[in-house]
Amino acid sequence: MTKPDLLMTGPMMPLVQEGLAQRFTVHKLWEAADKEAMLRAVAPSIVAIATGNHSPTDAALMGRLPNLKIVGSFGVGYDAVDAVWAGEHGIVVTNTPDVLNEEVADTALGLLLCTVRELPQTDRYLRAGRWLDKPYPLTGTLRDRKVGILGLGRIGKAIARRLDAFGVPVVYHGRSEQKDVGYRYYPTLVGMAKDVNVLLIVAPGGEATNKIVNAEVLEALGPDGVLINVGRGSVVDEQALIAALKAKTIRSAGLDVFEDEPRVPAELIAMDHIVLFPHVGSASVHTRRAMAQLVVDNLVSFADGKGPLTPVAETPWPPRS
């Protein structure tokens, strides 16, 4: 049986590459000496794309593939894929939700604790031999804090459950109020920022959330405020954040994501009172394997005529009539 043709836009985990090779003829775009020539040659036969968000899967690319039926994206966020355009042109987009919820929630709590209790700084203090001179100064605490979650989706709820166990009050802001949760809803982000001293971002990227955490929001968060971001770097106005940290408009920040990853502004790297992670929210062997397998399962299921397992909201399955 002839295998259908799949375009892989960049390097992906061996589990993905090997799993897809069993069911598809895989064309590895990043390995082509002449990418344009390769695209021209294979474009008519491509029915699927596998992408790890390493390059935009936009209308310009998808529009060149007349028989494209599905895009399998690695990660819960899929802002590098133009899902709206795909949906308008009958192309299904899948992501990898749920399998990473707990890992990212664990990381979010770890980042919050590291930031508030200054745990990375205490480690550096000990290694530098400074404990021999005097104890590390007393730090902040979670005990007197209220956390406002921006984006109470699957991961946001997993974070909220952990904060419940820590005895930390939780409120939230999002596109709309969720009637089935017991946390207080704020209709405006600024309004929530005024009432909390931790703003924890789990919101996805995209035009709707681009730089919505701006100077006004940071001003509302206040001088004891802590910003934690495990969502997307684009949600925060990075220059406004740098200015707020320098001016002590807010107290500190813990960031796992950045606007132009993996490039991180030198101004942030130079600050010792913040905590920076290199986008490791879901980066455990266990969770990344589960995500990789879901990419494969989505594409194989679709190729076998069973439909996608986890289509995104913009491309529901079965398609709406």
Catalytic residue positions, numbered: 232, 261, 279
Q: How far apart are CA 143 and CA 209, in angstroms?
A: 30
Instruction: List the strands of the sheet with 184-185, edge to edge.
Output: 184-185, 170-173, 147-150, 198-201, 226-229, 252-255, 275-276
Buried b (16+ CB within 10 A) or exposed e, 3-39: ebbbbbbeebbebbbebbeebbebbbbeeeeeeeebb
Q: How far is CA 258 from CA 239, 276, 293, 301, in A?
A: 11, 10, 26, 34
- How far is residue 15's CA from residue 21's CA, in Å, rounded to a whole number? 10
CA distance 134 to 156: 39
- 260 in helix, strand or coil? strand
SS3 state of residue 254: strand
Phi-psi region of 198 (alpha: psi -120 to 50; beta: other; left: phi over 0): beta
